[in-house]
Structures are given as structure tokens and as C-alpha cells.
Amino acid sequence: MVEQQKQRIELELSQRVDDLDRTILRKMQAEMHECAARCCHDSGSSMDAVQRCVESCSGPVMRAQQHVEKELGGFNNRLQRCVMDCNDTIKDKMGANPSESDISKYTGMFERCAIKCVDKHVDLLPGLFKSIQQTIASKRN
């Protein structure tokens, strides 16, 4: 059951990151390469100046990618903390020597709690990705 939830969250994240890539990041990468090509076509500039120009072109894409990574890292940390809280709560309830039936009962309780964590965090994804898009858009202008 927990494995299914892990796959579910990974699929949701993958779809949203792919959408972000198709709608925003690829365009930024194309602009970066066009900018870098213009730098390289400047035959009057020194090699160092061209290199600085190319590096400057990559700045917006690098910042956008770093922002996405930071936000997704925070999201993953929150999800892990939620699941760990489920784990801690169940451990506290289980006691020192649980019976087989107790273990089965507590495993079910843990799984239900973990599913709630995943449900909650999947519900947070639209807002998270909207915020990511807005931040990237605001830093491009």
C-alpha cells in the first residue's frame, strides 16, 4: 500500500515537472542558447568577454532550475516529515512487545496515516507549481 502511494506521488510530481518544462523551462533554455549564439557571433569581443556573455545568458535558466529544486526539496521534506510523524505516532501507541494482531492493526493505522499524508501533499501540488511558475515569471522580467 505504501509503495503504491510512493508511486502515486512520484507520478504526480513527474507530470507537473514535465508540464513546467514544456511550458516555461524549455523556452528559457531556447532563449539561453540563442543569447549564447549571439555572444559567439560577436567577432569584435575578446574570448573572455564572450565567455562572460555566454555565462550571463545561462543565469536565468540556472536560477529557475535552482528555484524548482529548492521548492521540490522543501515539498519532499514536508511529505517525509508527515510520514515520519505517522511512524512516530504508531511507535508510541504500539508499546514494547506488540502481538501479531497488534502489529497488523498498527500497520494498517500507519498505512492509513501515510495515505492521508500523500493525499494532503498531492492536493498541495497545484498551488506549489503555480507559485513556482509565478516566481520564475517574475524573475525573468
Give tens-digit pLDDT for 112-140.
999 999 999 999 999 999 999 999 999 87
- The terminus-to-terminus CA distance of the chain in angstroms comes to 45
Residue 48 CA to residue 70 CA, distance in Å, equals: 31
Task: Cell numbers for 4, please give them.
Answer: 503504491
Listed by start position, the domains of the chain span 1-22+61-139
Give tens-digit pLDDT for 48-98.
999 999 999 999 999 999 999 999 999 999 999 999 999 999 999 888 888
Residue 1 pLDDT more than 90?
Answer: no
Burial 36-47 (b: 16+ CB within 10 A, else e): beebeeeeeeee
The mean pLDDT value of the chain amounts to 93
Please answer whether residues 26 and 65 qualify as being in contact, where contact means their C-beta atoms are separated by less than 8 angstroms.
Answer: no
Residue 37 CA to residue 14 CA, distance in Å, equals: 31
Q: Can you tell me whether residue 49 is helix, strand or coil? A: helix
